[in-house]
Amino acid sequence: MSTVTFKAASRIYPGTPRPAVDRLDLEIADGEFLVLVGPSGCGKSTTLRMLAGLEPIDQGNVFIGDVDVTMLPPRERDIAMVFQSYALYPHMTVAENIGFHLKIKKLPKAEIHERVLDAAKLLDLEEYLDRKPAKLSGGQRQRVAMGRAIVRQPKVFLMDEPLSNLDAKLRVQTRTQIAALQHRLGVTTVYVTHDQVEAMTMGDRVAVLKDGILQQCASPRDLFTRPCNVFVAGFIGSPAMNLIECPLTDEGAVFGSHVIPLTPAQRSALTSERITVGVRPENLHVRSSDGLDVTVTTVEELGSDAFLYCTPTSHPELQFIARSEGLSTIKAGTTVSLHPDHTAVHLFDTVSSERLPD
């Protein structure tokens, strides 16, 4: 087990206008489960491949423990990687696939057998050890790929969207198993996903990337409750946070017919007279007045609650989502007013997009 440290690490592909990863500074603690998340093309897989040694580092350094691995080949970094594709050998049994790297290293057969059995027990694969990959489900194949990584007893696990080939139900089940397994093993793990729900439910911390730049790295709770800028606020959460630019007066930010007061610290932090208000769907209360007037376009019934998809009268180009009680009596085409919960409003400087202080 080891820490992982990126120090101003950059990857610049020839002929591209900007770095794929731009001066990344990130420290991952020993035994931590860190998730890299962001939209397609944000640099998360490139970051993982830089750590693995599969992509060169054009500027900066990467450390595993106290060792600078920037120039080391992959085989000397003591990492194990689980890819999106299972990459299993079809002619080998589960046991042979799991123990393949140990066989290559010419370890004693007794040790290989013991380590394969230990991994199979952890992953509930004991009854499948004699089967070929073709006779396994997608979830079982992914567990075999993980077993192959586990038996190597590496300093760091790297996982590149390992659940993307699974159906929705199996993804939920397998992500729970992976998180529980990682905590049991205590091995430093860097996990890449484009699915922010996956990131929030699995990671000890989550690093949000955009255009190769680290936006915020924090616990899932902190990302949700204190996003550092407009991008993180809109990216984290399902459904996403509602964001709207509001006029600013001496009384505060004007949210429809409602005014959200600002503290002196918030006013002094503003770089202009433009302010963006963010409110999550669960923190918007549906009223007949005293809020942001909207027209309900769609009602999504989920049984225990419902999501109202609305168009603000003052901003017809936007879509607002409010969570309501289940089996809602509100119908599409209804005009209502959305009133924000003052204790859960997020305020951002529109020009800089940065969060204002509380």
Q: How do residues 265-285 score in pLDDT, each as one tens digit?
A: 999 999 998 999 999 999 999
Q: What's the token pair of residue 220?
A: 């899932």
Q: What does the CA dihedral 224, 229, 235, 237 come to, rounded to 10 degrees? A: 20
pTM for this entry = 0.90
Dist. CA 189–CA 162, nearest whole Å: 13
The token duo for 59 is 């500027």
Band of pLDDT at residue 167, cut at 50, 70 and 90: confident
Element housing 102 (H / E): helix 100-104
Dump pLDDT digits (tens) for 71-87. Answer: 999 999 999 998 877 78
Residue 226 has pLDDT above 90, yes or no: yes
* CA distance from start to end of the chain: 38
Look up residue 50 and give its two tokens: 């830089």
Spatial distance between the Cα atoms of 309 and 97, rounded to a whole number of angstroms = 49
CA 48 remoteness from chain centre: 14
**Beta carbons of 78 and 105 less than 8 angstroms apart:** no
pLDDT tier for residue 164 given thresholds of 50, 70 and 90: confident
The set of long-range contacts for 260-263, using a CB threshold of 8 Å and a minimum separation of 24, is 260/340, 260/342, 260/345, 260/347, 262/347, 262/356, 263/357, 263/358
Q: What digits encode the pLDDT tens for the residues 45-59?
A: 999 999 999 999 999
DSSP 198: H
> What is the distance between the alpha carbons of residues 245 and 347, in angstroms, rounded to a whole number?
10
Domains of the chain: 4-231 (3.40.50.300), 241-349 (2.40.50.140)
Backbone angles phi, psi at 345, to 5 degrees: -85, 140
The whole-number average pLDDT for the span 220-247 is 95
**H-run or E-run covering 308:** strand 305-312
Q: Cβ neighbours of residue 135 under 8 Å, at least 6 residues apart?
A: none
Instruction: Label residue 10 by pLDDT band (50, 70, 90).
Output: very high
- Segment 24-37 shows an average pLDDT of 97
The confidence band for 1, taking pLDDT boundaries of 50, 70 and 90, is: low
Return the structure tokens found at 287.
Answer: 């009223």
